[in-house]
Chain A
Amino acid sequence: MKHLAFATGVFVSAAGFAAAETPELVVYTYDSFVSEWGPGPQVETAFEAVCGCDLKFVAAGDGAALLSRLRLEGARTDADIVLGLDTNLTAAARETGLFAEHSVSADYSLPFGWEDTMFAPYDWGYFAFVHQAGFDAPKGFKALAESDAKILIQDPRSSTPGLGLLMWVKAAYGAEAPAIWEGLADNVVTVTKGWSEAYGLFLEGEADMVLSYTTSPAYHMIAEDDHGKKAAVFEEGHYLQVEVAGKLAGSDQPELADQFLQFMVSDAFQSVIPTTNWMYPAVTPEAGLPDGFESLVQPEKALLFSAEEAASIRDEALEEWRAALSQ
């Protein structure tokens, strides 16, 4: 037994020694970011080449689950960085008091100027309904409600795009939103738990359109050489999703965390985003966007609530949505 204790002691001190030598940066993010085909693996290689550290991604469900986990762990969390919240979540994230201000500066290519000093953006996209080429897509929510086009959407209670659609309708129609939802009720084939279920059903031919992003057709073009998917442009404008990262105030590697956030808006990180996360990079890479992206539709009007507005109208918008679609 003594031998075992001795061996364990040696092992622990060796591990401690190694850790002192290579600092570890822990980044909490959502599942698809770290998957084989997501940005994670390339980002890890690129950052470790410059930081002399060990970058460790910890996957925790989706954006909302990420925030829940952080709230449960509180100040004891191992995370140095949280990457993968969006503007619907940042108000609640700020309220936890767990985050620190960042020092990132960049020449963003977002449709809006970026002023948040606590969270820095790494990519963005427009929500849009995706359909097969050749389908005569409605030009807006009212036209959609009057048509007999069938749509698949995600549940705002469990899915980020689902919540984005709620904000989209609210941003475009304000107090008129409940009437719009009542008009859409007979167009909605079903509501799914997450994006992948809805998109899967769409590819099965269960509906004419699915809620996704204007960049989704680029995936089919570049990864599958399929030019048959299009995004419909709505005249009300398109709601934005901006994905952000923030630094934990209690991080034991604050300099490394700052270094990572600045790296996040650099070319090495940003050039990976378009063909792994299938979103627009927050800073256009020097080499420009990959071929295929130029053919994507460009909405004329971008809609976005501030984080505070989004947080304050969420519950009301959710209840309107639920009431209109529950009948």
Chain B
Amino acid sequence: MARRAVSISKATSAVSAALVMLLVLVPIGAVAMRAGFSEGAFAGLGVADWAALKFTVVQAGLSALFSAALAVPVARALARRQFWGRGALVLLMGAPFILPVIVAVMGLLAVFGQAGVLNGVLSALGLPKLQIYGLHGVVLAHVFFNLPLATRLLLQGWDAIPQERFRLAASLGMGSREVFRLLEWPMLKERLPAVVLVVFLICLSSFAVALTLGGGPAATTLELAIYQAFHLEFDLAQAALLALMQLVLVLVVGMVALRLGQVAGFGAGRGALRQRWDAGAPLLKAQDALVLSLAVVFIGLPLAVVVLRGAVQIMSLPASVWSAALTSLVIALGSTVLCIAAALALGADGILLGSRMTVAEEIWADDKYKKRITETVESDTRIVMSIFNDNSRVLDNATAKAVNELEEQGIKEFEQYRPLVQGPNQRDAYASGDFDQGTLSMGQSCAFANKIASVENIFDDILRDAVAMRDRLGGLAVENG
């Protein structure tokens, strides 16, 4: 529960947005100018270009839909299970995305190719071989690259659902299905369009994967058509036209995704792994175990092949490879810093405001409760429920002490805690003002809340403090010139 009101001036974000647009449009414009747009150099698009556009959209669309759809059960299983190696698995999820394309393709072929593991098993069983080359091969490879990415993006969605919601759902006795309908589905409805968009955009510029696994020139993407126009034909007008087509495609899909997915309504949350009371049934456990095992095999097997081969050779790499690696690293780090700076300037900032607002006049809680908050200092809070990996900072009252005592005794059955922590207790406490009842969520920022005031006044206070802080820090900056 931070108190980080960060104001970003409109001018900064406008400049940043304009810069991003410039970076996208200027190169295309430059190529178009160089090509002599004004002379009507457009020869128009041939049959092959339209075929490339169609294939590009179809493969990127299918890849995005499959990646996102398959990521839902995987992310859900990861979100509600805690097991040994979970952190490593989430980390492993990042690997396919950063592998060089051709290395990853070789890994995939070692599993799905003509001489791969899968066909080895099939022919041992006397079954016909599977052919990986074709649209399905392209989609398979793209899912391999992007399923992990989609899973991680959705996992962030799950982490953003406040823990309190799950606790409330548990105390109301909701099962896994109701939790999905009321908590998880609304989150997915907001996040999935964005996930689909991201994967679609990544697959849009696929070139080598699409061509290699597509099995022939029918698997030509716009990216390859641009390459051809530029390198083989040096037809800059054609290259610029194709690039514009690609850009329009991105903008259209981007706008659709923005319309479908709204800003997440849960507010910022804490990413700690939470206790889930709705997913304890053996059938659900088995289901999650199966989903995770399949994901591990699908992602892990090709990676394992790559690693096993690479480990043998890594020591014999020439010095030039290491210096190339260093160059890549420096460029990547530089790009990352620029991206973050641009994103911040565009207005990306996170703020979670909880306890500070509990003393607002507009809050329906009893004044006795609000008055108690205005008297608290930071040390008037304590942490409960650590035993369930579900740390909550609450007001230090009789109930919180009782919960801590149970924890100290090492009791792990939730049922023993339920009478103390269940949702209705808190509601009663807010209504009656009896602040010794229930576990009342409370951040350390309660120390800043020292009077009951309207929301408007509270915000004015926060902003005034922030501006004062900025000016004070501004004094530290070294003047240029």
Contact = CB atoms under 8 A, between A and B. Distances in A.
A201 B231 contact: no
Contact of A196 (B102, B109, B214, B217): B102
B211 interface: yes
A201 B212 contact: yes
Interface in B216-270: 216-218, 220, 224, 227-228, 230-232, 234
Contacts of A206: 109, 113-115
A64 interface: yes
B314 to A, nearest CB: 16
A326 B218 contact: yes
A107 interface: no
Chain A, interface residues (CB within 8 Å), range: 35 or more
Interface string B447-481: 00000000000000000000000000000000000
A170 to B, nearest CB: 16
Given A200-B102, A325-B216, A326-B51, A71 B234 contact: yes
B37 interface: no
A185 B218 CA distance: 12
Chain B, interface residues (CB within 8 Å), range: 20 to 34
A204 B115 contact: yes
Given A67-B234, A205-B113, 14 more contacts: A68-B230, A68-B234, A72-B34, A158-B224, A158-B232, A189-B215, A190-B211, A190-B212, A193-B208, A193-B212, A197-B208, A205-B114, A205-B115, A321-B217
Interface of A: 35-37, 61, 64-65, 67-68, 71-72, 92, 150, 155, 157-158, 163, 185, 188-193, 196-197, 200-201, 204-207, 319, 321-322, 325-327
A185 B109 CA distance: 21
B228 A190 contact: no
Nearest to B227: A158
Contacts of A68: 230-231, 234
Contacts of A36: 318-320
B228 A158 contact: yes
B118 interface: no
A157 B212 contact: no
A69 to B, nearest CB: 10
B35 to A, nearest CB: 11
B357 interface: no
Contacts of A158: 211, 224, 227-228, 231-232
Contacts of A71: 234
B48 A322 contact: yes
Interface of B: 34, 48, 51, 102, 105-106, 109-110, 113-115, 133, 207-208, 211-218, 220, 224, 227-228, 230-232, 234, 318-320
Contacts of A322: 48, 217, 220
Lowest 7 A-B CB distances belong to which pairs?
A205-B115, A157-B228, A326-B218, A36-B318, A64-B231, A193-B208, A325-B216
Contacts of B109: 201, 204, 206
A322 B211 CA distance: 13
Contacts of B48: 319, 322
B215 to A, nearest CB: 5
Contacts of A35: 320
A157 B227 contact: yes
A157 B215 contact: no
B211 A193 contact: yes
A112 to B, nearest CB: 25
Contacts of A200: 102, 106
A326 B115 contact: no
A205 B114 CA distance: 7
A65 B227 CA distance: 10
Nearest to A69: B231
B244 to A, nearest CB: 19
